[in-house]
């Protein structure tokens, strides 16, 4: 399945062009689990501040908010799109994800991405940190032609 963002990955809700959804090749919409904006801070790095106002905290977990792993994956994916080595890449597969520490409201995630080409696909290894804690390593595969 190819996933297409309805907005640039750095646009947050309430900003021009903000639409909190993604589309697959069939045009079906899925609501993004992350409301905040991802910011590119370098050629291979993005940041995201986990706001206590993120909608996922309403049920995950009351009185002890932990940012869900799915949301960390979303930040890694948005970071990959913002640092992509060529335009028009589309997510082809999530190859692996390893979560090593929790992420809490108020944490600032820094995601470093490393791109490698493998024939017709690109692989992105995204390493997420919150302060001095390693929180996740995600391996995502992308294919060209995502903007069709």
Q: Kindly tell me the number of DSSP H helices and DSSP E strands found in the chain.
A: 1, 9
Active site residues: 60
Across residues 86-102, what is the average pLDDT?
A: 95
Sheet containing strand 108-118, edge to edge, reads 39-42, 45-49, 108-118, 121-130, 133-143, 90-99
86 lies in some domain: yes
Domains of the chain: total: 1
Q: Which residue has the tokens 């060209």?
A: 144
56 lies in some domain: yes
Q: What is the CATH number of the domain that holds 103?
A: 3.10.129.10
pLDDT digits (tens, 9 = 90+) for 20-79: 444 444 455 556 788 889 999 999 999 999 999 998 888 778 788 899 999 999 999 999
C-alpha–C-alpha distance, residues 143 and 92, integer Å: 6
Query: What's the predicted TM-score (pTM) here?
Result: 0.79
pLDDT digits (tens, 9 = 90+) for 73-82: 999 999 999 9
Domain that holds residue 92: 37-143
pLDDT digits (tens, 9 = 90+) for 116-142: 998 889 999 999 999 999 999 999 999
Tokens of 135: 């929180």
């Amino acid at each position: 399945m190819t996933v297409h963002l309805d907005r640039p990955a750095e646009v947050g809700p309430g900003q021009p062009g903000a639409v909190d959804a993604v589309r697959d090749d069939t045009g079906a919409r899925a609501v993004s689990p992350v409301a905040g904006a991802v910011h590119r801070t370098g050629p291979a790095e993005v940041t995201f501040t986990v706001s206590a106002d993120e909608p996922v905290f309403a049920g995950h977990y009351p009185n002890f908010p932990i940012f869900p792993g799915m949301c960390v994956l979303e930040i890694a994916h948005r970071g990959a799109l913002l640092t992509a080595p060529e335009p028009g890449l589309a997510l082809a597969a999530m190859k692996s994800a390893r979560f090593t520490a929790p992420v809490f409201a108020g944490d600032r995630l820094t995601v470093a991405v490393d791109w490698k080409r493998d024939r017709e696909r690109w692989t992105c290894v995204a390493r997420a940190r919150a302060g001095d804690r390693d929180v996740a390593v995600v391996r995502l595969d992308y294919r060209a032609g995502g903007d069709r």
